[in-house]
Amino acid sequence: MEKQEIYDKVVTIVADHFELDSSKVSGELNFLSDIEADSIDFVELVLEMEDAFDTQISDEAAEKLITINNTVDYIFANQK
């Protein structure tokens, strides 16, 4: 999958999960400071990403997924 496809899908998932306007979601969106996601929100989001991209995201890796761009880079680098 191309990086842009991953980016578009991640933006859609995040926008749907947090009920945001996808046109206002950028790569720099920070899950903690911009949308104030709590730990439960974040775990649910990681699980959605795992399902959507058929991948596993370790707890250590998930801790580093702070922005949309971090998430896209991780998924792109670890796709099957």
What pLDDT was estimated at residue 60? 95
Q: Which whole-number Å values give the CA distances from 52 to 14, 34, 36, 47, 79, in the listed order?
A: 12, 23, 23, 9, 11
| Consecutive 10-residue averages of pLDDT for the chain (80 residues) | 96 95 93 87 94 95 94 92
What pLDDT shows up at residue 79?
87
Query: Residue 79 in 3-state DSSP?
Result: coil
Domains of the chain: 3-20+27-77 (1.10.1200.10)
Q: How many CB atoms lie within 10 A of CB 75?
A: 22
38 is catalytic: yes
Half-sphere exposure of 79 (CA within 13 A, CB side): 13
Q: Given the residues 38, 51, 54, 73, select the one marked as catalytic.
A: 38
